[in-house]
Amino acid sequence: MSEMTDQVLIHKHGRVGHISLNRPKALHALTLEMCHAMSAALADWADDDEVEAIILDHAEGRGFCAGGDIAFLRNSALNDGGVSGRKFFHDEYQLNHQMFTYGKPIVAFMDGITMGGGVGIALPAKFRVATENTRFAMPETGIGLFPDVGGGWHLSRLGGRLGQFLALTGARLDGAECLWAGIATHYVPSEMLAELKARIIEKPDRIAGILSEPVGTPPKARIEGNADKIAKHFASDRYEDILASLEAVMDEDEWAAKERDTLGTKSPQTCKVALRQLAESKRLTDFADNMRMEYRIASRVIIRPDFAEGVRAVIVDKTGDPRWDPPTPEEVTEELIDSIFAPLPEGEEWVPLT
User: pLDDT tens track of the chain, all 354 residues?
Assistant: 344 468 999 999 999 999 999 999 999 999 999 999 999 999 999 999 999 999 999 998 888 999 998 989 999 999 999 999 999 999 999 999 999 999 999 999 999 999 999 999 999 999 999 999 999 999 999 999 999 999 999 999 999 999 999 999 999 999 999 999 999 999 999 999 999 999 999 999 999 999 998 677 889 999 999 999 999 999 999 999 999 999 999 999 999 999 999 999 999 999 999 999 999 999 999 999 999 999 999 999 999 999 999 999 999 999 999 999 999 999 999 999 999 999 999 999 999 998
State residue 122's pLDDT score.
98
* Domain count for the chain: 1
Report the C-alpha gap between 210 and 171 in whole angstroms: 31
Question: Could you give the CA distance from residue 290 to residue 36 in angstroms, rounded to a whole number?
Answer: 21
In a domain, 346, yes or no: no
Residue 347 domain flag: no
* Domain span including residue 213: 2-341
- Residue 240 within any structural domain of the chain: yes
Residue 188 domain-assigned?
yes
The catalytic site residues sit at 68, 117, 140, 148
Considering the domain boundaries, does residue 48 fall inside one? Answer: yes
- What integer pLDDT is reported at residue 216 of this predicted model? 75
Phi, psi angles (nearest 5°) of residue 267: -70, 120
> Quick count: other Cβ atoms within 10 Å of Cβ 272?
24
Does 153 reside within a domain? yes
Give residue 2's pLDDT.
42
Q: Give the per-residue pLDDT at 9.
A: 96
Across 82-125, the runs of DSSP E, i.e. the strands, are: 106-110, 113-115
351 in any annotated domain: no
Domain-located, residue 72: yes
- Please report the pLDDT score of residue 1 as a whole number: 38
> What is the value of pTM for the model shown?
0.96
Residue 149 is predicted with a pLDDT of 98
Residue 123's region, left for phi above 0, alpha for psi from -120 to 50, else beta, is: alpha
Binning the chain into helix, strand and coil, the percentages to the nearest 5 are: 50, 15, 35
Q: According to the model, what pLDDT value does residue 5 have?
A: 61
CB neighbours of 217 closer than 8 A, spacing ≥ 6? Answer: none
**Helix (H) or strand (E) segment spanning residue 318:** none
- The helix (H) or strand (E) run that includes residue 209 is helix 207-212
Alpha-carbon torsion, ordered 45, 116, 334, 260, to 10 deg: 150
Question: Which CATH number goes with the domain that contains 151?
Answer: 3.90.226.10
Tell me whether strands 173-174 and 135-137 are parallel, antiparallel or unpaired. antiparallel
How is residue 345 annotated by DSSP?
P
